[in-house]
Structure 1
């Protein structure tokens, strides 16, 4: 198979595995995203400084552990989440998880496409009539690097991640000067309120869809250590930094997006550059994820074609108003995505005990009803839970699947004894 296809339907071979810096740059580029800052802005106005810090640490620690566990499995098997879903949900049953994951990623892509067009029109004081044409330009432009594959994502991230860290550092420095020092920031009181459980769900939900599908890159890691450390760096440190940036900006400038904050601070050029690097490095990863799910649903290795089709759908959704649906979308992700990852982990560690059969030769059922039922139970409990929905979904799905596997194993042993 041509290596530019990035192995959408098979395991990544050993000679195509990547090292620490390559993996780190791609994953950090993915998690440095504007919407995460918006979630942080919600926390910044609803909690005191130390309460906000605790919620950010707890939410991102949970997210980092969840994503790192999946990253380890992806590295060991060479498979991404949608391919691992064939073991957990069956050959046809896995299309359910493909649809859920693909839909969430195309939703993110639509939001990012709308965001950059709307912000540019505002920043550069362009006519409103430019908004839709800009959505079309960016909707198709951002997917170019994704259509090329991992190498293009890596190159873009190696340039963009250091640049974004510089812009963030510049903004922090100016913000602390404007507020009168860290002491003044700490004593500021919240102006809104929000339940702690909802806040943790919001932090976890900002990138739980991305964490579930970051296996598209962690499967390229040369060993488990690289996969786990780089994923933790991206989803605990990187995503946590983005949430804090949003809270920081909201506390001082009543603006959660660092682009708006940089403009307020007088750094117009830095704001425009931050906007492009921030959104592009996530948009190309997002549409790459959609293509992975699409290839598995359609059982095709034409990843580039699926990438362009996804860009067209995402652009249409952006034009139709996806920009205004972010917070409900995040809560939805935090509810229905984590059970998928939980069942895949349970499959790997409980059912197969870390030795999964080769995908090409494995005798897999069309529908793994145990996995599908466990997903339904976990998702239902998460949706109706008054507690932290993502954790409920993960724990209930894993427990339900373990129990169903045990019952299934006991039934098979009973039938064998009867024979």
Structure 2
């Protein structure tokens, strides 16, 4: 696939759109991330089984609604989140969202690369120093799929997702048996404490960045219905299953590390297969997202070159110790990323009345103060909120955008060439 067919800096034409199954499989596999299981494990150790289920349902419904709302806009416009950011933040101002979204996905890429390298060394009994050259090899290897583009991601997901589901069912079944069946599972008391708001923020934060940047693929949807259905179902079911699977096993073994859990279950070989397939599936879309943000940041359509450079940056972060920062990283993402989506939605529906003009037909201001201030307000409220930070950030940012518009704070409107 040539670089030009990736539409890094322009709208996706209608003759390049795809149907429900193609979009759903890529997005569904995108949410099948081992890191989400680790996050679910942290929640599982802090709540009873039924509370963990309710937290997963609530958090993932909110996440899926957010993803579907952005997906509809991306499908109608043919633009991804970083390109839509030009309208609400300005030509230069949109680089803020590029940096935030790009760094978030780069952090995930580094975490996945480091986690797989460390886990392989542990499972196979290799010396600890081997993890560093392994991080380099894995980091470069993961980006190969992303270089192929949508076709490569779609092909890999058709193989890895069904196998991953089977492995999860086996692990959860063994955990239930080890707990003494349903009565034993329901009777286990949590060993740690965590508030509901923090737990839901973690659930949302696991894929706050992913839901925002899933517009890289939902913009390929043939219709708004396809975009909404594929996004809602994939994020609710895929991310939900990951959270529940991690929490389910953590409740029984009081261990948030799914690799350690599978070793306790006698599934060491299965754990290796799961980690390799799962992280290879997710790391491709992750570094693809980084390259999409970076392409908009530097205004280039050389996506493959940018993808390789992004993978090298991710490797450096992995070597620097990103694997130890998961929970703080998730809390941060749950606070600073959703306000970007709130501003995009408010700008599309209120500022542009449900239809963007073509990017090549307009001249945009360098800075849109209305959008930038609205984002800042939403992010500050989200970080300070004792309630569910992502929802606070989205709502406050959207309302702030509308109020600032009514007060005449927009720097200057778009001018037609």
TM, length-normalised to structure 2: 0.96
- State how far apart, in whole Å, the 2-side matches of 1:409 and 1:30 are: 38
Aligned to 2:253: 253
1:295-314 residue pairs with structure 2 within 5 A? 295-314=295-314
Matched-pair contact (CA < 8 Å) for 1:82–1:293? yes
In 2 relative to 1, CA 257–411 (structure 1 residues): closer, same or farther, beyond 3 Å?
A: closer
State the match for 2:415 in structure 1.
Answer: none
Q: CA deviation at 1:221?
A: 1.0
Rounded to whole Å, the distance in 1 between the matches of 2:18 and 2:262 is 35
* Residue 335 (structure 1) aligns with: 335
**Structure 1 residue 261 displacement after superposition:** 2.8
Q: Structure 2 matches for 1:176-215, cutoff 5 A?
A: 176-215=176-215
1:351 corresponds to 2:372: no
In 2: Cα distance, 1:97 partner to 1:266 partner: 44
Does the aligned pair in 1 maintain the 2:48–2:251 contact within 8 Å? no
- Alignment RMSD, CA only? 1.7
Contact residue 91 and residue 366 of structure 1 kept, 8 A: yes
Tell me what 1:416 maps to: none
1:101 deviates by 0.6
Q: Which moved more, 1:82-91 or 1:171-180?
A: 171-180
Identify the residue that residue 371 of structure 1 maps to in structure 2: 371
What is the rounded CA distance, in whole Å, between the counterparts of 1:277 and 1:4 in structure 2?
A: 29
**Inter-partner Cα distance in structure 2 for 1:178 and 1:121:** 27
SS at match of 2:408: helix
Distance 2:249 2:4 in 1: 40
Give a deviation string over 1:205-237, Cα, whole Å, max 9, x none. Answer: 111011111000111111111111111122111
1:286 matches 2:286: yes
Runs of 4+ with deviation above 6 angstroms: 409-412
Q: Distance in 1 between matches of 2:328 and 2:172?
A: 29
Q: Report SS of the residue matched to 2:96.
A: helix
Matched with 2:96 is: 96
Partner Cα distance (2:156, 2:259) in 1: 20
Deviation per residue, 1:265-289 (Å, 9 max, x gap): 2223322111111111111111000
In the alignment, structure 1 residue 326 sits paired with structure 2 residue 316: no
Q: Which whole-Å deviations, capped at 9, do the CAs of 1:334-385 have from their partners, x for residues lacking one? A: 0100000010011111111112111111232111110001011111111112
Aligned residue pair count: 413
> Is 1:389 aligned with 2:389?
yes
Separation of aligned partners in 1, 2:188 and 2:182: 10
Partner residue in 2 for 1:417: none
Structure 2 spans left out of the alignment, 5+ residues: 413-417
CA distance in 2, matches of 1:135, 1:409: 47
Taking the aligned partners of 2:157 and 2:259, their CA distance within structure 1 comes to 19
Please give the alpha-carbon distance, in whole angstroms, between the structure 2 residues aligned to 1:121 and 1:2.
Answer: 37
Residues in 2 aligned to 1:153 and 1:105: alpha-carbon distance in whole angstroms = 16
Separation (CA, whole Å) in 2 of partners of 1:262 and 1:326: 20
2:291 touches 2:303 (CA, 8 Å); kept in 1? Answer: yes
Rounded to whole Å, the distance in 2 between the matches of 1:331 and 1:211 is 15
Unaligned runs of 5+ in 1: 413-419
CA 1:119/1:410 → structure 2, altered by over 3 Å: closer, same or farther?
A: closer
Label 1:77 to 1:192 Cα distance change in 2 as closer, same or farther (>3 A): same
Residue in 2 that maps onto 1:227 = 227
- Per the TM alignment, residue 407 of structure 1 is displaced from its structure 2 partner at its CA by 2.2
**How far is 1:253 from its partner?**
2.1
C-alpha contact 1:200 1:388 (8 A) present in aligned 2? yes
1:229-272 C-alpha deviation (Å, 9 max, x unpaired):
11112211110110111111111123334433333222233221
Match of 1:243 in 2: 243
* C-alpha distance 4-151 of structure 1, shift in aligned 2 (>3 A): farther
Report if the CA contact (8 A) 1:48-1:189 is conserved.
yes
Which string of whole-angstrom CA distances, capped at 9 and with x for unpartnered residues, describes residues 389-419 of structure 1? Answer: 111111110000011122229999xxxxxxx
Deviations 1:272-311, CA, capped at 9 Å, x for gaps = 1111111111111110000000000110000000000000
